[in-house]
Amino acid sequence: MQLPEVTLRAIEPEDLDVLYRIENDRQLWGEGITNVPYSRYILHEYIATSSADIYTDKQVRFMIIDPQGVAVGIADLVNFNPKHRRAEVGLMLMSQYRGRGYASAALKELCRYSSEVLNINQLYAVVSTDNIKSITMLKRMGFHESGVLSEWLCNGCEYSDAIILQKKL
């Protein structure tokens, strides 16, 4: 499968609606660290106050942009550790763009940026064992399974295991 072309860019105030839709997509809550909706105000404040400096914030968030300039999702580097030169990867796409190669293309760009610009040694992802599509995509992109975290994720009433996948850059 040929990957679509994507670019990663900093979040702009105009991205508030896309960010709002993604952060409040209940289908994604089981994969992330939250299970509560975000208000437009909170997201607006995040955009306004984020330094976009991974060394200051220990995270950086990018919009995933398709060739027509449309924001299709978000790519995150979080839990950045400059001493050990590693970061956790997070990818979230709007529902209409899932399954079309955008996550793989964004991950490829995120790996390149992490290696060439940030000099990160490795990236990792924590994924629910139920999320076969994400696990398959990460493995296809060179990540390997390195462990299982028992009852790591909670959907509000049930726990599920998570897999750690890593990639040396």
pLDDT tens, position by position, 2-29: 899 999 999 998 998 888 888 776 666 5
Q: How confident is the model at residue 165 (pLDDT cuts 50, 70, 90)?
A: very high
Query: Residue 27 has what pLDDT?
Result: 65
pLDDT tens digit sequence for 21-78: 887 766 665 555 555 677 777 877 877 888 778 888 899 999 999 999 999 999 999 9
Query: Residue 97 has what pLDDT?
Result: 93
Alpha-helical segments (H) within 24-141: 26-29, 40-49, 54-57, 102-116, 132-140
Cα gap 81→97, rounded to integer Å: 31
Q: Which residues contact 22 (CB under 8 A, 6 or more apart)?
A: 28, 73, 74, 92, 93, 94
Phi, psi of 146 (to 5 degrees): -125, 0
Kindly compute the dihedral angle of the four CA atoms of residues 113, 11, 64, 110, in this order, to the nearest 10 degrees. Answer: 20
Higher model confidence: residue 87 or residue 33?
A: 87
pLDDT tens digit sequence for 96-134: 999 999 999 999 999 999 999 999 999 999 999 999 999
Query: Residue 36 has what pLDDT?
Result: 66
DSSP 8-state class, residue 68: T
pLDDT tens digit sequence for 123-163: 999 999 999 999 999 999 999 999 999 998 887 788 889 99
Cα gap 152→20, rounded to integer Å: 26
Cα gap 127→147, rounded to integer Å: 11
Cα gap 168→144, rounded to integer Å: 9
Helix or strand or coil: residue 83?
coil
Query: Residue 29 has what pLDDT?
Result: 55
